[in-house]
Amino acid sequence: MILYFSGTGNCKYVAEQIAAAIGDKAVPVENNDGRIDLKKGEIFGMVFPTHFWEMPAIMREFLEKASITAEGENYAFAIATYGTTPGCSGTDAKKLLQKKGVSLSAAFSLKMPDNWTPMFNLSDAEKVRRQNVEADKNLAVLIENIKAKIKGNRATPKAPYFVRAMSDKMYLKARMTSNFYVEDSCIGCGLCAKQCPVQAIEIQNRKPVWVKEHCTLCLRCLHLCPKFSIQYGDGKTKQHGQYHHP
């Protein structure tokens, strides 16, 4: 099983490509019932975006609560897609699985367009296309490594684990839904509420309202809105464009 979380499609694409290559299935973390029973020799993959140098909160919380059993030796791998650095996310995956009695065989990272548009600019479609072409080449190599069941923490560039204490505080603050706002162009279609993986949005009086104090900050609502009406923070997101993996 390839378990994945994806805000804007990068990890969905990666998980589905790997599953197709090894004859397995890709399962979104939102659709899993919290039970993973691995048969002897079964491959268990986790694919997730890097969020603030970490594994995203939704994936971490799932793994913390999940019941994971393994019949015998397995090949377990984690892939953090990222834009600038996967930071501590490989180590996160290793530590979380360890608590379930499963050892992570390999951690990888894959550079892809950076959907953190409060900072990064994805408005140049040709540049983004080239980034995805490059990612495809690296994904082909990654798939061969998985087929060969290579081991070790190969997620690069790494960050020392102690920085996570600082990044974690920044991540929690950034996840406050009060950072979002909606422009008048909103047509009240409800797509943002329907697509939110943690049900943080409700449509009230034909406008989205964030009903939870924190969300997992995948930016799916911002990037998928048909009117590009959802913005975050100081408004740079408007200039930096919307993104979804092609």
Ligand X SMILES: Cc1cc2nc3c(=O)[nH]c(=O)nc-3n(C[C@H](O)[C@H](O)[C@H](O)COP(=O)(O)O)c2cc1C
The string over 163-199, giving b where at least 16 C-beta atoms fall within 10 Å of a residue's C-beta and e elsewhere, is ebeebeeebeebbebebbebeeebeeeebbbeebbee
CA distances for 181 relative to 33, 203, 224, 233, angstroms: 32, 13, 15, 8
CB 224, min distance to ligand SF4, A: 7
Q: Give the helix/strand (H/E) hosting 152.
A: strand 152-153
| 3-class secondary-structure state, position 137 | helix
Q: 193 vs 218, which CB is nearer to ligand X? A: 218
The answer to whether 110 contacts ligand SF4 (rule: CB under 6 A) is: no
Q: CB 23 → ligand X: shortest distance, Å? A: 23
- Non-local (6+) Cβ contacts of 1 within 8 A are 24, 25, 27, 36, 38, 42, 43, 44, 45
Site string for ligand SF4, 185-224 (x = CB under 6 A): -xxxxxxx---xxx-xx------x------xxxxxxx---
Residue 180 C-beta: closest distance to ligand SF4, Å: 7
Nearer to ligand SF4, 151 or 236 (CB): 236
Q: Are 230 and 192 in contact (CB under 8 A)?
A: yes
CA 50-54-57 angle, 5° bins: 90
Residue 59 as a binder of ligand SF4 (CB under 6 A): the answer is: no
Q: Which helix (H) or strand (E) holds 140?
A: helix 125-147
Binding site for ligand X (CB under 6 A): 6-11, 49-53, 81-85, 87, 112-116, 217-219, 245
CB nearer to ligand X: pick between 101 and 246:
246
* Residue 62 binding result from ligand SF4, ligand X, none, given CB thresholds of 5 to 8 Å by partner type: none
Q: Give, as ranges, the residues between 166 and 185 that touch ligand SF4 (CB under 6 A).
A: 182
Amino acid present at 225:
C
- What is the token pair recorded at 149? 């069941």
The minimum distance between CB 207 and ligand X, in angstroms, equals 23
Instruction: Tell me the closest approach of the beta carbon of residue 20 to ligand SF4, in angstroms.
Output: 26
Interface with ligand SF4 (CB under 6 A):
182, 186-192, 196-198, 200-201, 208, 215-221, 225-227, 229-230
